[in-house]
Structure 1
Amino acid sequence: MSESYDWLLMILLGIIILLLIGYQLNRWLMSPEPDHLPGVPINERIPDHPAIALLEQEGYEVVGGKVKINLTFDTDERPIHSRLFIDYIASGENGELYLVKLARERLPVDWTGAGIRDRLMPFLLLYPECEGLLYVDTHAHSVHRLNMEWSDEEWAGNED
């Protein structure tokens, strides 16, 4: 009689273990994918700059200062380190967030599709939850607002 209880206990234990494994597997499969970066970083230290006044004139509020994003690229030979900088984080009238890049004389933006893609698209890809990117040129007293949309359409006269 004792052997039948042992087998019954083993079968019951096996069923419980299978149910636990199934539950954990289901939780793992149904969990949302983690973001590649955890939200837009806000640096509360905001150094003064003429771009802040220009952004405020355009209706934006600067809510964060310079942010450094460290990058590591694994290559066949060795890891290569680099970084990207976001100059400011600004908020629009409805609370939407914008990344802010300041114009640099030694790194001008070529205002073509390829130029914008090469110089500014990485920032838009890093934080897709942002409404866009504000490119501030203090010398020209201008603020360019950039958004990016995905499209499968082909255009005549394609640029790279």
Structure 2
Amino acid sequence: MKNYILPVLVLCTLSVVAQPSPSSETKSTDPATITKEFLNAVRGHDSKKATALLHPDVIWVQPGTNRLSGVKKSREEVQEMGKRMGELSDKSIELAEVRVLNANGNSVACLLRWKAVQPTGNVLDVENIDVYTIENGLIVSVKVYSADLEQENRFW
């Protein structure tokens, strides 16, 4: 009997060890998770990760009548808008708060608070509601609603 126990234990151990472990690189397609990852990347100034979560042909609608307003039709245009925000705010732009994040199907609505200060002393402190649409694990569209377009237009 003792002769059989050791080989059985070894086989059991090997079968457990040989099982593939779940990859930490497994990408979620859950809309809320994708949106959280994107916003965390934005907060952490990780433009590479944020850009990777955008579909190449993402549609981004930025409100207002300022130099950043309008419809962006690619991840490159969105990336350029982000760079321009950094330049215009002397790199002070920050996603200060993510207050609400709720999913409904493949759409996720977020209440966000943005802050920035220009070298001239002009201040941005505004809440936005952003609506993200996710398909196949990527953000395909974003529509931004500002709580204070007048402030944003003055700042940008």
Which structure has the bigger radius of gyration? Answer: 1
For this structure pair, what is the TM-score category when the shorter chain's length is used for normalisation? under 0.3
Question: Which protein is richer in strand relative to its size?
Answer: 2
What is the TM-score normalised by the length of structure 2?
0.27
TM-score, normalization by structure 1: 0.26
